Amino acid sequence: MAAQIKQKKPYADINNIARSPTLQTVLMVEKFIDNNSGEYKKTDLFKNLPRKVMWQTFQVIMEYLESIYKIVYDRDGYVVYIWNPEFAARYKNRDDLEWKE
């Protein structure tokens, strides 16, 4: 029998009080991570945001940024911003690459 891989449920599905973040809040968190990449672990990042955000909302934002490959966690748990718009723009219009929609 093949071992079943346990899928991680999104935080919003687990926690009924999770709030849908506004675009402004998502962009604020993303910009803060970009400017402080690799400096904070998740909880410290939350505590040092320029504006207060509910923990549940923050969790939803972090899962979203991770799902679209803008952030990762290093082996020590620090949040690292990995999105590179220049790299994406360079490869976006190449004829020899195929993009999935």
CATH class of the region 20-92: mainly alpha
Domains of the chain, by residue range, sit at 20-92
- The model carries a pTM of 0.74
Lookup result for tokens 């923990």: 55
pLDDT band at 11 (very low <50, low <70, confident <90, very high): low
CA distance 43 to 40: 8
pLDDT band at 36 (very low <50, low <70, confident <90, very high): very high
